[in-house]
Amino acid sequence: MPLFYFDFTANDDVSIDTIGQVLENETVAHKEAIKALAEIAAEEIPRDGKLVLTVTVTDADRETLFRAQMTFEPAL
């Protein structure tokens, strides 16, 4: 099974995945990335101001497969 890395960014705070996850395929990796974004958003949304969350999924060679992003802006 292939290895995938999930690198996250919350505004300017970057977290590089150095371990990776072995998953069945790219479809499963995509679902895991979206699920992780939602979980992080649930924890981070109480922040004041704009929040931009990004996950970049790469393969074992660190080639980017896809990127997903969520943006939250509080209404004033």
> Each residue of 17-63: pLDDT tens digit?
999 999 999 999 999 999 999 999 888 877 778 889 999 999 999 99
pTM for the structure as a whole: 0.89
pLDDT of residue 50: 87
Residue 46: Cβ within 10 Å count: 7
Spatial distance between the Cα atoms of 74 and 76, rounded to a whole number of angstroms: 6
Q: Which range of residues forms the domain containing residue 33?
A: 3-72
Which H/E stretch holds residue 53?
strand 51-58
Domain total for the chain?
1
